[in-house]
């Protein structure tokens, strides 16, 4: 998995192409992720004690193949490679500028 929770990602294809957002959740079993303010769908909700009935907008999952991590330093979507530091810690590195992605 190259995309993790709290990563800033950009959508590469589909109706939301070009939009960026933060990953809220990664669903490994279906190979999808939920990104904030991207792929919004309307959902009908029944009334509860705390909430009225009606339509609400929620984020729908997006396939991980349509997402790419945005580097913090160069601020562009980039591929990610895995590297091992001198102390033995594994990190993700931007392929364009070489910056460590936290």
CATH code of the domain in which 44 resides: 2.30.30.30
> Do residues 29 and 48 both lie within one domain?
yes
- Look at the alpha carbons of 65, 3, 5, 77 in this order and tell me if their dihedral is positive or negative: negative
Number of domain units in the chain: 2
Q: What is the pTM of this model?
A: 0.88
pLDDT tens by residue, 84-96: 999 999 999 999 9
Structural domain span for residue 102? 73-102
pLDDT tens by residue, 15-46: 999 999 999 999 999 999 999 999 999 999 99
SS (H, E, C) the chain: CCCCCCCEEEECCCCCCCCEEEEEEEECCCCEEEECCCCEEEEEECCCCCCCCEEEEEECCEEHHHEEEECCCCCCECCEEEEECCCCCEEEEECCCCCEEC
């Amino acid at each position: 998995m190259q995309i993790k929770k709290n990563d800033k990602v950009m959508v590469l294809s589909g109706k939301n192409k070009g939009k960026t957002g933060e990953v809220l959740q990664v669903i490994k079993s279906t190979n999808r992720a939920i990104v904030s303010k991207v792929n919004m769908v309307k959902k009908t909700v029944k009334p509860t004690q705390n909430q009225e009935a009606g339509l609400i907008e929620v984020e729908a999952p997006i396939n991980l193949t349509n997402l790419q991590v945005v580097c913090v330093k160069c601020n562009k979507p980039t591929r990610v490679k895995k590297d091992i530091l001198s102390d033995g810690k594994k990190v993700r590195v931007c392929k364009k500028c070489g910056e460590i992605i936290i």
